[in-house]
């Protein structure tokens, strides 16, 4: 501040940082290749123009998209990035922030850093989230641990409980904070198309100044100059001059990079320039009602794609990365695995290639995470492209898992093909994808070899070469294990080798449940013939069935399920709790669009048309209920038929009731939900989210809001209602749209809409996107999902641990299959996470040390707690505490077989682990 001649204190001029940018929805109302055509022209124009700087929307995938078409321009692009004439990153894609899991957000930032590193560039130090439909509570922690001290947000902020300023400290549950800048109600378009003419510039400045006077906490303002898919404004220099002339001495208007703006903002936010009483905002950001559109209804659109995305994320995190990490930590890799970083002469996949291939799989999954794609608010061609991309990620995950397991088990695909295979269905590999040792029910597929199926020019005349003993299918019954047969089918199984054509075999696949002894945490247990005759392991209690007076009663040692054969009603009993009419299916007309639900008319309950037992133990009992609408019309329409089959599953000694759902819909414009009817009233609502549970209190829109608050919310794996007396938790197989009310936990199975955007909705008047028909968003045809119900006591640390373990048991059960020509039986131990408060977040490869793995755990509780990592052997092991980006935050410790640590409330702890030499 300066003193005027009269002695009064002059107010320093407002620093207006103009950041030229484009908001680049990679795909939306066009597919990505169509938008890429405009992107190439935009970046070419930027490289030809020395004016700069320009922000490519905070995502690095745009650089790859450009270079795929213009690889010859890479040197010019490198130079522009190094000199900050062009900015990109820190993200790989601008993802939806509520739907992906916490680890997917981490992989997003890691992928963005890889792209920029390749181009010798650095990202702006800003967690730039200008258009996400809300933000997780953990985002400040994610940003801070990637060295991003400033965040830019828009949607999800501005509700009744939020401060009316453009600046606040955003605090994560673990206490981490970042400085958050909240965009104006018009968002990132606020500074678009700045005028050059004096009169127009004066009017524009008056509007800008009026808003900044109301909202700007400090003396640094951000003016984003751009909009969706807009190229750089050609006369921006003249427009800035005109704006400066209109502002006069009250402001200094200048063009900057986003990084420079963030540095100026951070410096201006320090005392005494800014008071220490800067507002602090914690928790999720899901409320911008009355400020701008929140668009929370996208959680249920194209729900099947969101479920599959969650399964793909879970597959990479818990059924690919752990085996690669375990392989890296193995002390005695098998002889066929090359050492010293040299490729294998026989071209086997090894750790030379697998880390980079893992990155490819993640990047292809992340490419489906932008909010218009993953949220389902895109045209049908984009949705079809996403489904194909998901297929490709699933195939890659399967290949990566197989390659890692082959090395862990000492299976050489080349050597296996160089001798006549001795197939034996009893060579079984069990996988435990949980961070604790587990036994009990394992879902196993045994492959009985029927014969070799010829392929090639002579295969038309050749018969299948029959395998000896192929007719003796009965021998696949395990002689000494408690088991239950689930089904059998014929299929073709292929053995592949980098030195041979595939060997195709005709097999009979036998699906069984086995009661198995404990399998090591994050470990593998490979069986041979001797294990099948070992002393059997008995479950403490088998599933029993009793029938009397028209009722079937199932008991599994923990709970009781009762079916009334006359009314087809199912009742759940646990201790002194009774839940009659356990299950319901509800349908309601939805006249909304891909962004917003508009539920109309009465709720229609599907009728249960039949109920019967389809499995009776000893390990699993299943009650199959068939449901249908009153309408039998099988042509697409608003009054057509919906049929659903729900299998209520009770496993021996399990505390949960599972429900496997499959159905078919011919109905358009509707929402179909499965409802668990509970006994919980007036309870708090909790849900699983990125890096730990969050409490969900009702969002109340102000009276002037032009957007209604939906009754739904996102959940990752579970949603809970807990009263002071008891609680109930719904577990689901993918990110789900949930509704939690007294006595009911509901899960959206299908949300069918036929328009990208409508402007006649009372819940949100006006278009949220370009109007376009989306007939495939009606989601006609088959659908499937899985859910489960866990009854428990009031919310506590113990209940959180029970929900954690139940989630793993439902979503990541013990599983296994025959490796018919496996040469040896072997047991591989992974690390175990001990401590009631802690949950495994990741066990993966270190990106900074090719000899190390990353172990990340989350303290789910609101108290400090101690936990322990138990390693596969006595090591010694070197353990280094790190940030999420692997920057060390403490010295390494050398330990033997275990490492104990303390975690603050809701802490996310990352450890880099390797063998100490």
- The per-residue pLDDT for 704 is 94
Pairing relationship of beta strands 607-616 and 599-605 according to DSSP bridges: unpaired
* Tens-digit pLDDT profile for residues 569-625: 999 999 999 999 999 999 999 999 999 999 999 999 999 999 999 999 999 999 999
Residue linked to tokens 């999902």: 785
pLDDT for res 533? 79
Q: Report residue 86: phi and psi, to 5°.
A: -125, 135
Contact 554, 545 (CB under 8 A): yes
- Rounded-to-integer distance, Cα 87 and Cα 53, Å: 7
Dist. CA 112–CA 95, nearest whole Å: 12
**The pairing of beta strand 736-741 with beta strand 744-752:** antiparallel
Rounded to whole angstroms, the Cα distance separating 179 from 143 reads 10
pLDDT of residue 468: 62
Q: How far is CA 724 from CA 80, 683, 698, 728, in A?
A: 60, 7, 18, 12
pTM of the entire structure? Answer: 0.96
Residue whose entry in the numeric block shows the structure tokens 């040299």? 342
Peptide bond into 506 cis (omega under 30): no
pLDDT in tens, 611-622: 999 999 999 999
pLDDT at residue 334 in the model:
43
- What pLDDT sits at residue 720? 98
From CA 163, how far away is CA 155, in angstroms rounded? 14
CA 367 remoteness from chain centre: 13
| Cβ contacts of 18 within 8 Å, gap of 6 or more | 191, 194, 223, 225, 236, 240, 253, 254, 255, 256
DSSP characters for 462-515? PPPEEPTTTT-GGGGS-SSS-EEEEEEEEEEEEEEETTEEEEEEEEEEEEEEEE
**Per-residue pLDDT tens digits for 110-144:** 999 999 999 999 999 999 999 999 999 999 999 99
Q: What distances in angstroms separate CA 171 from CA 149, 553, 627, one per listed residue?
A: 12, 50, 46
Alpha-carbon dihedral angle through residues 818, 819, 820, 821, given to the nearest 10 degrees: -170
Residue 417's pLDDT band (cuts 50, 70, 90): confident
Question: Domains in the chain, please, with CATH?
Answer: 13-294 (3.20.110.10), 544-695+710-795 (2.70.98.30), 831-917 (2.60.40.1180)
Contact in structure between 390 and 309 (CB atoms under 8 Å):
yes
Mean pLDDT of the chain: 94
Residue 691: CB atoms within 10 Å: 29
> b/e for 187-204, b at 16 or more Cβ within 10 A?
bbbbbbebbbeeeebeeb
CB 87 within 8 A of CB 55: yes
Q: How far lies 851's CA from each of 359, 410, 871, in Å?
A: 17, 20, 16
Helical axes 102-118 vs 303-319, angle rounded to 10°: 70
CA 885/CA 901 separation, integer angstroms? 20
Q: Is residue 296 classed as helix, strand or coil in its secondary structure?
A: helix
| Element at 271 (helix H, strand E) | none
Q: Specify the pairing of strand 736-741 against strand 814-818.
A: unpaired
> Which pLDDT band holds residue 12 (cuts at 50, 70, 90)?
confident
Range from 254-258, 470-474, 764-768 carrying the lowest mean pLDDT: 470-474
- Rounded to the nearest 5°, which phi and psi values hold at 675? -120, 125
C-beta separation of 400 from 407 below 8 A: no
* % helix, strand, coil for the chain, step of 5: 25, 35, 40
Give all strands of the β-sheet with 727-732 in edge-to-edge order.
607-616, 620-628, 642-651, 656-665, 781-792, 727-732, 718-722, 684-689, 692-695
Confidence of residue 87 (pLDDT cuts 50, 70, 90): very high
Please give the pLDDT value at position 275.
58
The span from the CA of 682 to the CA of 876, in Å, is 52
pLDDT of residue 529: 84
């Amino acid at each position: 501040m300066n003193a005027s001649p009269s002695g009064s204190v002059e107010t320093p001029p407002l620093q207006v940082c103009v950041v030229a940018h484009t908001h680049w929805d990679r795909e939306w109302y066009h597919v990505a290749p169509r938008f890429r055509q405009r992107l190439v022209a935009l970046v070419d124009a930027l490289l030809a123009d020395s004016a700069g700087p320009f922000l490519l929307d905070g995502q690095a995938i745009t650089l790859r998209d450009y270079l795929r078409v213009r690889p010859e321009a890479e040197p010019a692009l490198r130079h522009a990035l190094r000199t900050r004439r062009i900015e990109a990153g820190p993200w790989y894609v601008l993802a939806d922030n509520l739907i992906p899991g916490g680890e997917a957000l981490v992989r997003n930032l890691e992928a963005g850093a890889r792209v920029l590193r390749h181009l010798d560039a650095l990202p702006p130090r800003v967690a730039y989230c200008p258009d996400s439909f809300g933000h997780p509570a953990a985002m400040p922690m994610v940003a801070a641990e990637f060295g991003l001290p400033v965040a830019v947000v828009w949607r999800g902020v501005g509700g009744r409980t939020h401060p009316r300023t453009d600046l606040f400290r955003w605090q994560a549950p673990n206490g981490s904070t970042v400085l958050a800048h909240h965009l104006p109600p018009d968002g990132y378009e606020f500074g678009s198309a700045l005028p050059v003419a004096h009169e127009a510039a004066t009017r524009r400045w008056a509007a800008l100044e009026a808003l900044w006077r109301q909202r700007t906490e400090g003396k640094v303002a951000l003016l984003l100059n751009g909009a969706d898919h807009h190229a750089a404004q050609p006369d921006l220099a003249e427009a800035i001059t005109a704006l400066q002339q209109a502002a006069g001495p009250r402001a200094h208007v200048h063009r900057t990079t986003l990084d420079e703006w963030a540095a100026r903002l951070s410096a201006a936010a320090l005392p005494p320039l800014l008071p220490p009483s800067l507002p602090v905002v914690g928790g999720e950001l899901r409320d911008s009602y009355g400020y701008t559109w929140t668009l929370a209804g996208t959680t249920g659109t194209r729900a099947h794609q969101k479920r599959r995305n969650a399964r793909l994320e879970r597959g990479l995190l818990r059924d690919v990365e752990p085996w690669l990490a375990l392989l890296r930590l193995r002390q005695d890799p098998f002889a066929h695995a090359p050492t010293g970083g040299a490729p294998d002469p026989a071209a086997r996949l090894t750790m030379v290639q697998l880390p980079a291939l893992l990155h490819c799989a993640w990047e292809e999954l992340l490419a489906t995470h932008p909010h218009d794609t993953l949220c389902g608010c895109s045209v049908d061609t984009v949705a079809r492209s996403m489904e194909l991309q998901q297929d490709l990620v699933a195939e890659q995950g399967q290949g990566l898992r197989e390659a890692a397991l082959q090395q862990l088990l000492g299976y050489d695909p080349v050597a296996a093909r160089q001798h006549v295979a001795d197939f034996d269905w009893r060579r079984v590999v069990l996988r435990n994808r949980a961070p604790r040792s587990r036994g009990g029910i394992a879902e196993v597929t045994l492959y009985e070899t029927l014969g070799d199926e010829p392929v090639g020019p002579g295969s038309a005349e050749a018969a299948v070469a029959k395998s000896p003993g192929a007719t003796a299918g009965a021998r696949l019954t395990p002689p000494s294990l408690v088991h239950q047969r689930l089904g059998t089918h014929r299929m073709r199984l292929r053995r592949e080798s980098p030195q041979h054509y595939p060997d195709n075999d005709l097999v009979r696949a036998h699906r069984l449940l086995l009661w198995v002894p404990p399998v090591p945490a994050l470990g593998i247990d490979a069986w041979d013939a001797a294990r099948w005759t070992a002393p059997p392991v008995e479950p403490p209690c088998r599933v029993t069935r009793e029938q009397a007076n028209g009722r079937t009663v199932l008991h599994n040692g923990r709970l009781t399920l009762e079916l009334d054969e006359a009314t087809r009603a199912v009742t759940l009993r646990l201790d002194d709790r009774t839940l009659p009419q356990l299950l319901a299916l509800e349908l309601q007309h939805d006249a909304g669009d891909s962004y917003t639900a508009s539920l109309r008319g009465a709720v229609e309950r599907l009728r249960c048309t039949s109920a019967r037992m389809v499995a009776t133990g000893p390990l699993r009992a299943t009650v199959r209920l068939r449901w249908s609408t009153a309408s039998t019309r099988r042509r697409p329409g608003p009054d057509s038929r919906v049929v659903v089959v729900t299998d209520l599953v009770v496993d021996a000694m399990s505390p949960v009731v599972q429900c496997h759902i499959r159905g078919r819909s011919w109905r358009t414009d509707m929402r179909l939900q499965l409802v668990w009817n509970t006994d919980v009233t007036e309870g708090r609502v909790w849900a699983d989210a990125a890096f730990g549970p969050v409490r969900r209190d009702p969002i109340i829109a102000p009276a002037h809001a032009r957007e209604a608050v939906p009754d739904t919310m996102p959940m990752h794996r579970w949603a809970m209602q807990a009263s002071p007396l008891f609680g109930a938790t719904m577990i689901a197989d993918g990110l789900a749209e949930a509704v939690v009310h007294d006595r009911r936990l509901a899960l959206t199975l299908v949300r069918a809409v036929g328009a990208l955007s409508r402007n006649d909705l009372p819940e949100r008047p006006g278009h949220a996107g370009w109007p376009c028909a989306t007939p495939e968003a009606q989601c006609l045809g088959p659908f499937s999902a899985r859910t489960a119900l866990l009854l428990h006591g009031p919310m506590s640390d113990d209940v959180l641990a029970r929900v954690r373990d139940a989630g793993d048991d439902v979503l990541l059960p013990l599983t296994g299959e025959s490796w018919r020509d496996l040469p040896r039986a072997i047991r591989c131990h992974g690390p175990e996470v001990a401590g009631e408060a802690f949950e495994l977040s990741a066990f993966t490869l270190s990106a900074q040390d090719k000899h190390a793995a990353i172990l990340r755990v989350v303290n789910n509780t609101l108290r400090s707690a101690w936990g322990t990592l138990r390693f596969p052997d006595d090591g010694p092991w070197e353990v280094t505490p790190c940030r999420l980006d692997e920057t060390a935050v403490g010295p390494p410790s050398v330990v033997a077989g275990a490492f104990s640590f303390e975690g603050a409330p809701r802490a996310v702890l990352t450890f880099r682990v390797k063998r100490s030499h």
